């Protein structure tokens, strides 16, 4: 069942709470996770000497500066989508290949940072007032925030064009191999979309994300139990 069909079935069955949770969680991805991810790209690009993103108004946490209309609709209806890519001019970078890798790395690192903070907030809330329904609900939100940010980071670390991982990986690839791969980036992207829509990537992505969640939860879980 597709995400859209599932949402319709929830409304039809009167499960408005689950429907609201899906809508709110999707809004969190669209208006918080995505914009911070793109802002991180723009910030590092600016620090590396390329002010293109700043001149185009992308060096901001305003979510509307980063939204892509089609990508946003895809997230709501299919659970898979994208934000507006941050423009980067390699000619303005001091060390193009290295800096492109750093710019690409910034997005997933921003997601992991949000996940790390969210995990700590979750454990603190559960320790001080987890038995309270309201506090428990807020704690659950931060738990979800951590999980979704880890999944976004893991997904973007995949070394597949046009994901961030491909640009990070390119920094260590010989030019000949890198440019050969980029000749087929459009076809690789189509293959990636097929894997996503058929769910074939769900199991490996979930497995890696679970390992990452356990890793960033080690210290707060030891402190707060």
Q: Is 113 within 8 Å of 32 (Cβ atoms)? A: no
Six-digit token string for 86: 């941050």
Six-digit token string for 106: 């910034």
- What sign has the CA pseudo-torsion 218, 221, 223, 225? negative
User: Hey, is 225 helix, strand or coil?
Assistant: coil
Element (H, E) at 197: helix 185-198
Instruction: Classify 79 in phi/psi space as left (phi over 0), alpha (psi -120 to 50) or beta.
Output: left
CA distance linking residue 211 with residue 161, whole number of Å: 24
Looking at residue 79, the DSSP 8-state letter turns out to be: S
Looking at residue 30, the DSSP 8-state letter turns out to be: I
Whether 212 is catalytic is: no
Kindly name the residue from 38, 50, 99, 164 that is annotated as catalytic: 38
CA distance linking residue 105 with residue 1, whole number of Å: 34
The catalytic residues are 38
């Amino acid at each position: 069942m597709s995400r859209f069909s599932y949402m319709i079935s929830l409304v039809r069955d009167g499960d408005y709470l689950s429907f609201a949770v899906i809508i709110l969680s999707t809004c969190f991805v669209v208006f918080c996770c995505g914009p911070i991810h793109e802002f991180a790209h723009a910030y590092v690009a600016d620090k590396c000497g390329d002010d293109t993103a700043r001149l185009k108004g992308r060096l901001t946490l305003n979510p509307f500066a980063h939204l892509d209309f089609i990508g946003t609709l895809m997230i709501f209806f299919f659970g898979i989508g994208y934000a507006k890519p941050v423009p980067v001019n390699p000619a303005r970078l001091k060390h193009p290949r290295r800096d492109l890798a750093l710019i690409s790395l910034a997005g997933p690192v921003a997601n992991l940072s949000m996940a790390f903070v969210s995990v700590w907030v979750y454990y603190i809330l559960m320790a001080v007032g987890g038995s309270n329904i309201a506090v428990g609900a807020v704690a659950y939100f931060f738990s979800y925030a951590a999980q979704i940010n880890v999944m976004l980071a893991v997904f973007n670390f995949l070394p597949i064009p046009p994901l961030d991982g491909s640009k990070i990986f390119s920094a260590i690839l010989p030019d000949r191999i890198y440019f050969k791969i980029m000749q087929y980036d459009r076809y690789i992207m189509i293959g990636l979309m097929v894997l996503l829509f058929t769910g074939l990537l769900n199991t490996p992505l979930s497995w890696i994300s679970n390992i990452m969640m356990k890793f960033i939860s080690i210290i707060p879980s030891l402190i707060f139990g």
